[in-house]
Amino acid sequence: MKPGRVILMGAGPGDPDLLTRKAVRALLSADVLLLDELVPPDIAELAPRARVLRVGKRGGCRSTPQPFIQRLMRRYALQGRTVVRVKGGEALMFGRAGEEIAFLEAAGIEVELINGISAGMAAAAALGISLTHRNHCHGVSFVTAHTQDGAQPDWQALARSRTTLVIYMGMQRIEQVQAGLLAHLPASTPAAVVQWASTPRETRLATRLGQLADDARGAGLGSPAIILVGDAIGLARAHAAPAMRHSA
């Protein structure tokens, strides 16, 4: 039997209007749909003939093991099916896509990649700012708050880069993120947190690095959220409403 294919697709940060036309076509073609934890469940309505499997992975929660997900994709693809692996945000940003591509290609399976809007970009849009404002920074750095072995990033190097920092998966260790950056940046450095960017549950907080953890905890903010730090974030103050909880 001729092998099928696997499509690794970014579903964006949560607003279904941010799905690309190419992503919608991929969903319509799916025989098997593997949905990440942060993908809205109703996205399955765009894949009417697909078998839907939820393979959630979420920091601090019970998650579907990565090797099991990879074996699922291989199994169904070798049966000649079109498998669409739907990831929240951008498929190639902190989503283990590299591991999956290598695993599937080693099995002789065709892999197609479809980009989505990253949560970091959606957070910037929510704040009404440019992450690369040339009057305030030299660029932008996308970083995860912890490496595979649990170590912290090189905060000193990141601080010296004079880039806007867009930090993923940092809410559970926001105090360590703050402390690591305060060792190299002034407490007055603008900072922000955006939770559930682009969705009806979106909550925004504009603050300073010195108050980042206290303000975020006091506002009840948690995962999934993006932490942003840098002078360009100071332009968000006119756009970011005080953080508040939305009723269910």
Check whether domain 119-238 has CATH 3.40.190.80, yes or no:
no
From the centroid of its chain, how far is CA 14? 10
36 is catalytic: yes
Task: Clarify whether 169 is annotated catalytic.
Answer: yes
Q: State how far Cα 98 lies from the chain centre.
A: 15
The full DSSP string for 178-232 is HHHHHTTS-TTSEEEEEESTTSTT-EEEEEEGGGHHHHHHHTT--SSEEEEESGG
Q: Give the C-alpha separation, 158 to 163, whole Å.
A: 7
pLDDT(240) > 60: no
- The answer to whether residue 246 scores a pLDDT higher than 50 is no
Candidate from 20-34, 44-58, 210-224 with smallest mean pLDDT:
44-58
Q: Is 239's pLDDT higher than 60?
A: no
Answer whether residue 63 shows pLDDT above 80.
no
Q: Cα(10)–Cα(115) distance, rounded to whole angstroms? A: 5
The CATH code of the domain at 5-114 is 3.40.1010.10
- Which residue in 57, 87, 93, 215 is the catalytic one? 57
Q: Supply the pLDDT for residue 247.
A: 31
Contacting residues for 34 by C-beta, under 8 A, at least 6 apart: 53, 54, 55, 69, 72, 73, 83, 84, 85, 86
Q: What are phi and psi of 220, to 5 degrees?
A: 75, 20
The model's pTM is 0.90
Percentage of residues of the chain with pLDDT beyond 70: 92
The residue-averaged pLDDT of 143-158 equals 87
pLDDT at 64: 85
Checking if the pLDDT of 93 tops 90, the result is yes
Let me know: does 90 contact 122? Beta carbons within 8 Å: no
Q: Establish whether the linkage from the previous residue to 153 is cis, with ω within 30° of 0.
A: no
Q: Does residue 2 carry a pLDDT above 50?
A: yes
Which range (38-42, 124-128, 139-143, 193-197) has the least confidence?
38-42
- What is the rounded average pLDDT of the residues 82-100? 94
Of 23-37, 48-62, 159-173, the one with minimum mean pLDDT is 48-62
**57 labelled catalytic:** yes
Question: Taking residues 219-247, what's their average pLDDT?
Answer: 77
How buried is 31 (Cβ within 10 angstroms: 0-12 exposed, 13-18 middle, 19+ buried)?
middle
Domain boundaries of the chain, sorted by first residue: 5-114, 119-238
245 or 104, which is more confident: 104
Over residues 123-144, the pLDDT tens digits come to 999 999 999 999 999 999 999 9
Q: Which residues contact 19 (CB under 8 A, 6 or more apart)?
A: 11, 12, 43, 46, 116
Residue 244 scores a pLDDT above 50 = no
pLDDT confidence bin for 147, thresholds 50/70/90 = confident
Kindly tell me if the per-residue pLDDT of 40 is higher than 70.
yes
Q: What is each CA distance from 102 to 8, 90, 91, 109, 144, in whole angstroms?
A: 12, 18, 15, 10, 22
Active-site hit among 73, 93, 121, 169: 169
Percent pLDDT > 90 in the chain is 84
Contact 222, 171 (CB under 8 A): yes
- pLDDT number for residue 236: 87
pLDDT number for residue 160: 95
